[in-house]
Structure 1
Amino acid sequence: MYADALTLENARSLLGLTGPVGAEGLTLAFRAAVKAARPDAPGGDAETFRRVIVAYRLLQAQTLALPAPAGHARPKPFTPPPPPAPLLVLTPMQAISGGCVRMVVGARTLLVHGPPGVRTGDKIRLKGGGPNGADALLPVLIRPADGLSVLGGDLFMTWAVPQRMMDDGGRIEIMTHAGLRSSWLVPDMVEPVRLRLKGLGLPARGQRPAGDLFVKLEASADLPSAAEDLLLRFTRVWTPQRIAA
């Protein structure tokens, strides 16, 4: 039995349909009709079983051309979402001072500038960088680098200090991105020790104030004490040649 041996009206009649249906209704009608026509079911036979299958295939091919049932809108065709905008990935130092990043946007390679003080989650407008010449908004992501990490507007780093300094306390010097900074430790500080250097985080931008720099101190037995460090500096400067001069 071939599909062209059945008319659409005969096919609908075989499936028990009295009017146009969508794909879901057609499938439900076919399942009921083919179950009733099974040769091993009471009242079923092989010929009717085959005709039901042929009728279903015929109507299935015509489903898109059939009008939707009353009160039911035909589903809209699936439209894939536009691809996400590429990320503008910056280092903490680029977020502090501003920097340019070469990145691929669409089919073009562009040099995109990240302004100082930009935060993760901010969006940089790229004029003409979107589809059909529209502007594109590039999300910013600041990844850890150079011993620095960023959370919001604050910077985080780790600095090693002599174990004796952690035990006895005293003045320490920390090399930050803004230069050398000093701080005082009290004796017998309990680890982890974190120092907060105000205003040394990401710079202010718009309504957001400047962030802070948080320094985690790690005790190290390999580092010289403050006195030993001072002696090393003295010997480097006052070499025998300079003393002789």
Structure 2
Amino acid sequence: MNSTWFRRFTTVAGNGPRLVCFPHAGGSATAYTQLARALPADFDVLAVQYPGRQDRYLEEPFTALEALVGAVAGELAGGLAADPGRPYALFGHSMGALVAFETARLLAGRGLPAPQRLFLSGRDAPGARSGAHYRDYDDDAVLAEVRGLGGTDRATLENPEILEMVLPALRADYRALGGYEWRPGEPLATPVTVLVGDGDPVVTVEEAARWREHTSGAFDLRVFSGGHFYLNDHLDAVAAAVTGGLLAGTGVS
């Protein structure tokens, strides 16, 4: 897999199922470091590194979600061709859930092998109002929301030098979310596991459950205590849900 787009945080690439993880808005591949290490050693866990952050800081970030999805899907298609037959799944949190879902749709539209399962976390299902409330966000609104969600260290957001580095990616990601328009189509056949915190200020459990409408396959809803970044407090349980969900589709136990 292309090292420009994908990162591994384990010492070796396992020869078992592959899990590709998509970060939240403003996030980077390192958001999945701990999850990668909590999963079985034979899993090959890859985290997507979007342009405009960390070691890709000098690259222009995408400001349109459709373009980002197209780029990621193209990279994944090459990986699927190079490693045919290996089961894989996609995991996305927040904005990453939307990118993962649309990537799966694009791969399906191209007739490529489907993921064994989608893991969609901290995001409501797409619909008519998908990105509307982000369209008027300025920098102050973006930073206020990020502070409220609690996924970024407050000292980072209050340090002018660091803020100058992270704001372009945040700005671009929220612009991409604001420009996203849901295009209805046939539900995916891929099984879906949805994960959500019961106190998430961005998405309610009921809204998260509406992902059921976007698959004709099996559907599983996992609710955890906590807010938008509930994952930080339930790492082992999330890893267990991912492990069980992915292995259920591979015939491996």
Higher strand share: 1
The higher radius of gyration belongs to: 1
Higher helix share: 2
Pair in the same fold by TM > 0.5: no
Q: TM-score normalised to the size of structure 2?
A: 0.18
